[in-house]
Amino acid sequence: MSSRPPGMPLVAANWKMNPTNIDDALDLVRGILSVARGHADRVEVSIFPPFPWLLAVSEVLVESGVKLGAQDCFWEMSGAYTGEVSPAMLKDLCQWVIVGHSERRLYLGETDDMVAKKTAAGLSCGLGVIMCVGELADHYDAGTSDQVVSAQVKAGLASCSADDSARLVIAYEPVWAIGTGKSADPEHAYKTMRLIRRIVGEMIGAGAARKVRILYGGSVNAANVQSYVELPYCDGCLVGGASLDAAEFAHIVKVTAEVYGHR
Ligand code: PEP
């Protein structure tokens, strides 16, 4: 099986719970756009603002080629679920949704079963889904990263099929590398992303699995991005903290475009 999927690399900007006001959010998206639109033919860029900024950010992104996504969704489409946002509500505004981010698993108790239901719900509405997986520091230290990540991938994709492959992305984000400045050793990232590709192949078939993109996430910045996006099984990156600085994020997009342009 070739390690390269047919799609473009994806660079995703997860703003998390930032910025706290709309003016800063609009400044940030305009700054990112000024550079990202120049690479739209080689890199798919998607921005994931907090829910309250989605509509205003979507207006800035019109006809830019840069995509929009939400940081989470619920698994039901409507009903008595106070505080939740359904994929049906997002589908006309967004192209993407992130599910299973480690901060939600950690602070909100999201389980593999919930992540699987969110993944299926997002896909059923026509959204692209970025499903996050990754081991804790204790797993990494104990040498059990492979078992943990395998179990998360298998559980999260439980109801996925080959038909979902082009809209499915798996972000490998070692939890100990998120927001810590301790990015993973590229060799470790490479081996884990290769494992993920193999498991996806076993689940939905090797041909379909080639279309599923795999991202690295965890303290990616302008200085280290090349060491990840040049890895054979890596189809881009999920960027948190560094996506709040337009110039830094733009550099990440530019490096990704250059690396993939040379492949
Ligand atoms: C993330 O939020 O998914 C992430 C990888 O964050 P950071 O880049 O800040 O580590």
Fold of 10-261: TIM Barrel (3.20.20)
Gap between the Cα atoms of 139 and 241, Å rounded: 24
pLDDT on residue 148: 98
Question: Residue 262: what pLDDT?
Answer: 66
pLDDT at 121: 97
What are the residue boundaries of the structural domains of the chain, listed by start?
Answer: 10-261
pLDDT, tens only, 81-107: 999 999 999 999 999 999 999 999 999
Low-confidence ranges of the chain (pLDDT < 70): 1-6, 262-263
173 is catalytic: yes
Backbone φ/ψ region at 67: left (φ over 0), alpha (ψ -120 to 50), beta: beta
Going by CA atoms, what residue is nearest to atom 4 of ligand 1?
Answer: 240
The minimum-distance atom of ligand 1 relative to the CA of 171 is 3
Query: Which of 173, 228, 248 to mutate for ligand 1's pocket (most ligand atoms within 8 Å of CB)?
Result: 173
Q: What is the pLDDT of residue 36?
A: 85
Q: Residue of the nearest CA to atom 7 in ligand 1?
A: 240
Pocket test for ligand 1, best of 131, 172, 219 (most atoms within 8 A of CB): 219
Secondary structure (H, E, C), the chain: CCCCCCCCCEEEEECCCCCCCHHHHHHHHHHHHHHHHHHCCCCEEEEECCHHHHHHHHHHHCCCCCEEEECCCCCCCCCCCCCCCCHHHHCCCCCEEEECCHHHHHHHCCCHHHHHHHHHHHHHCCCEEEEEECCCHHHHHHCCHHHHHHHHHHHHCCCCCHHHHHHEEEEECCHHHCCCCCCCCHHHHHHHHHHHHHHHHHHHCHHHHCCCEEEEECCCCCCCHHHHHCCCCCCEEEECHHHHCHHHHHHHHHHHHHHHHCC
- pTM of the predicted model as reported, rounded to 2 decimal places: 0.96
- Determine the pLDDT at residue 6: 58
Cα-to-centroid distance, 78 and ligand 1 (Å): 30
Identify the pLDDT of residue 41: 86
